[in-house]
Structure 1
Amino acid sequence: MKKILILTTSTGQGHNQAANSLKEVFNSRGFDVETYDFLKSNSTFLNSTITKGYEFLASTIPALYGFLYKITDKKHTNILLKYVFWNTEKKLYNYILNAKPDLIIGTHPLSVNIVTHLKRKNLINIPFISIITDFMVHYSYIDKYTDSYITANEYTKEYLYARGIDKDIIYPYGIPINPIFYDKDISILETKDSEYFNILLMGGSMGLDSISHVLKELIKNKNKLRITVICGNNTHLKSKLLSEYSSKSIPNKKLHILGFTKDVSSIMDYCDLVISKPGGLTVTESLAKQLPIMIPFAIPGQEVQNTSFLTKAGCALYVKNIRDINSNINLLIENPDILNSMKDNISKIKKPQSIENICSLSEKLIDNKNTRN
């Protein structure tokens, strides 16, 4: 049985979601798959510093996070970043020796630093696929010892090529998500109340507090809106919103406030629009559902870059000031052709065969390695 090791870490939940979706499909195709949180297992200090630091900066001082993202997105400063992680490689190396995988997949850029360093020193000779879970590429992904790159689309592929990566090893298969997002629940569509414009409001796994400001604006809108709010793991935000709105009767509004839920796919089937921060996985799930996106908040760094790509592709609207949310909502309600045009643009860039293509590439890399040996 062919064995695959998927390396991930918990800076947000997108990398873990990609890893778990891959594992599920690989298992269904007869692979033996392990997912491994390499930071959590290799260095308690680094894991705590990076995961908690990311959550703190992203939610509290996003400008500082954006600054750090920018200064490390360069070859020379990124070398210093890589050196920090090379010092954690021994435990991962021993884990790889014991696991004996035929292929390694990384869903986080920091895995690239360690695996490619082991390959550079000839300590391992195992094919390595790096999956880029955003629509642009940070320099920490760049390394000539990576065997294959999976990008969100052709544009991301060209960006990698411009940074010196051989086009032949870049595959624009799309960010891997749970295949359920490419299905439509027809029964939900049949019960949809056409009187209401259906909005899904979310802020990623962290459930950013900015959601409350957006909701406050939406409540003011005079149109009939059905609003589903997903607060993710932010229990404080969920409690705050329930306390504020659960006992109120709001004219022309149907409001549903949820915490973490596994029903995002079916909720999306009911919606006309997603309002969210543009994390790579959330965006890809929305695109899979052919759902236009409105972006009122984005963490500086990869999410600002994602926003730039999505707005240029005509799949999303960026709202710079939350107070302008309602004028944009009204524009979409009064001009359904705009929504339809955005859906047409989405159909041009979504990648429904992402995981199947990644599985096929993985088999090919493993077979090529076995043939050489």
Structure 2
Amino acid sequence: MKKILIISSEYTGHGHKSVHTALIQGFEKLYKDKIECKVVNGFTFGGAEFIAAERLYNTCVKYFPNLWNRIFRFSFKNKDFLNKNNSFNIKRRFLKIIKEYNPDLIINVHPLFSGSLLNIIEKKKLNIKFFIIITDLITITKIWFDNRADKIISPSKEATEYMIKNGIDREKIATFGLPVREGFNPKISSKEKIRENTNINGKLKILILNNSEKNKRLIYIIKNLYSKFNCEVTLICGRNKNTFNKLTSFFSSKSYAPKIIGYTQEIPKLFSENDILITRAGPTAIIEAVNCLIPVISMGALPGQEEENPIYLQQNGLGYSADSTDDIFNKIELLLENNRENLIKMRENQFDYYGRDVREKIVNYIAEKL
């Protein structure tokens, strides 16, 4: 049986974990008796300091986004320095895992561990294939990619061209899209059935996926949605108990009541049941939405790796980029024009998107290279 070691993370956003979960599900489904996968959090290779740094990520992007942007930009100009420093700190524990597990292939899904691990593999002359799966969409830091990798699986055509311009051999890149987890797929089997399966006349169902938004802004959005549209609103707070408690309390005295949900594993079901998704433009969330054929309205993006995603959504007809909080409502109006014709058209665009439904293609591609 072939062995794959996946290098990921636990606390640096949702995307890395979603992608490695999608890969495991794909290999389990297609190659259960031929390929086994083991996931390791790359930050554990660096010991206590790396683990502490990983856990600071969410705090940094929530409360100090401009600081995070500076850190992100630093990585563009200091690739070799970062890789050399990381290699020194992670070498011992990484080599221990390699000795214990003896993988045939390493798949890296976190930017900090591309060049740093390849440094170690090169120096120790390890005979192990190394693939990189990039989990950002458009704006990718240069520490993501390295020409020493055997293959780089690209999330978009734009990312592919960017890597080629920055020295990566074209034949090393395979452009697929982002793999998504089980359940993130439409109930519609053909494009022709989209119109008849779109909510054209019923009450509008709007889903808000909260990504560290301030409570004040969420309240403003929800109040205006109810005042401007005949709609039902569902808010997913995730593990943010503060937002869940404050908004539940605030709306308990109102004549209208959004459905407020904490942490849930029912996101695929909620994507399928709602007509419009309002969210920050994190790559995994928007591609999971595209796979479920739910039009996306971006209410912002994290400086750095997410900043071009709203534009990408709009240019590809997959969603709208809202320029301000109030512009969210303008974008909903656009979707509802002409008896919701734009809503239907956007779902059709999502169905045709080249990066939709690619998990099994990626898994088969990797299996063929083993």
Q: Provide, for residues 115-161 of structure 1, a one-character-per-residue CA deviation record: whole Å limited to 9, x for no partner.
A: 21122214322111111112122101121111111112222222221
Among 126, 135, 155, which residue is 1:133 paired with?
A: 135
Residue of structure 2 in register with 1:288 after alignment: 291
Higher mean C-alpha deviation, range 118-127 or range 171-180: 118-127
Q: Structure 1 residues 90, 276: closer, same or farther in 2, change over 3 A?
A: same
Q: Are residues 8 and 62 of structure 1, via their aligned partners in 2, closer, same or farther at CA, if it must alter by over 3 Å?
A: same
Question: For the structure 1 residues 154 and 327, does the alpha-carbon distance in structure 2 shift closer, same or farther, using more than 3 Å as the test?
Answer: closer
Letter in 2 for 1:147: D
Q: Give a deviation string over 1:177-199, Cα, whole Å, max 9, x none.
A: 1132124289xx98979431111
1:202 is aligned to 2:245: no
Q: CA deviation at 1:339?
A: 2.3
1:330 CA drift (Å): 2.4
Could you tell me which runs of 5 or more consecutive residues in structure 2 were left unpaired when the two chains were aligned.
190-195
Q: Report which stretch shifted further, 59-68 or 38-47.
A: 38-47
Asked if 2 retains the 8 angstrom alpha-carbon contact of 1:103 and 1:362, the reply is no
Quick one: distance in 2 between partners of 1:106 and 1:149?
Answer: 10
Q: Residue deviations 1:76-128, cap 9 Å, x none?
A: x1212212211222211211121111111111111213321122214322111
Aligned letter for 1:90?
A: R
Judged with a 3 Å threshold, the aligned counterparts in structure 2 of structure 1 residues 195 and 359 are, in CA distance, closer, same or farther, namely: closer
Q: CA deviation at 1:287?
A: 0.8
Residue of structure 1 in register with 2:310 after alignment: 307
Aligned to 2:123: 121
- Closer, same or farther: CA 284–270 of 1 in aligned 2, 3 Å: same
Aligned to 2:192: none
Task: Please list, as runs of the form range in 1=range in 2, the aligned pairs for 1:49-88 lying within 5 A after superposition.
Answer: 49-52=53-56, 54-74=57-77, 77-87=78-88, 88=90
Give 1:71 deviation, angstroms.
Answer: 2.7
Contact 1:284 1:350 in 2 (8 A): no
Equivalent-residue separation in structure 2 for 1:345 and 1:215 (angstroms):
31
Letter in 1 for 2:58: E
Q: Secondary structure at the match of 1:140?
A: coil
Which residue of the other structure, out of 143, 165, 170, is the alignment partner of 1:167?
170
Q: Deviations over 1:271-297 (max 9, x none)?
A: 111110111110110110122211112
- In structure 2, the partner of 1:147 is 150
Structure 1 gap segments, 5+ residues each: 367-373
Contact 1:134 1:306 (C-alpha < 8 Å) held by counterparts: no
Give the aligned partner of residue 370 of structure 1. none
Q: TM-score, normalised by structure 2?
A: 0.89
2:359 corresponding residue in structure 1 = 355
Taking a change above 3 Å as real, the CA distance of residues 211 and 332 of structure 1, as seen in their structure-2 partners, is farther
Among candidates 105, 108, 121, match of residue 106 of structure 1: 108
Task: Report the CA distance between 1:240 and its aligned residue.
Answer: 1.1
TM-score, normalised with respect to structure 1: 0.88
Distance 1:343 1:184 in 2: 13
Alignment correspondent of 1:9: 9
Identity, in percent, stands at 26
SS at match of 1:119: helix
For 1:185 and 1:307, the matched residues in 2 are separated by 26
What's 1:228 paired with? 234
Structure 2 letter corresponding to 1:114:
S
RMSD: 2.2
Q: Is the 8 A contact 2:207 2:278 kept in 1?
A: yes
> 1:353, CA displacement in angstroms?
4.2
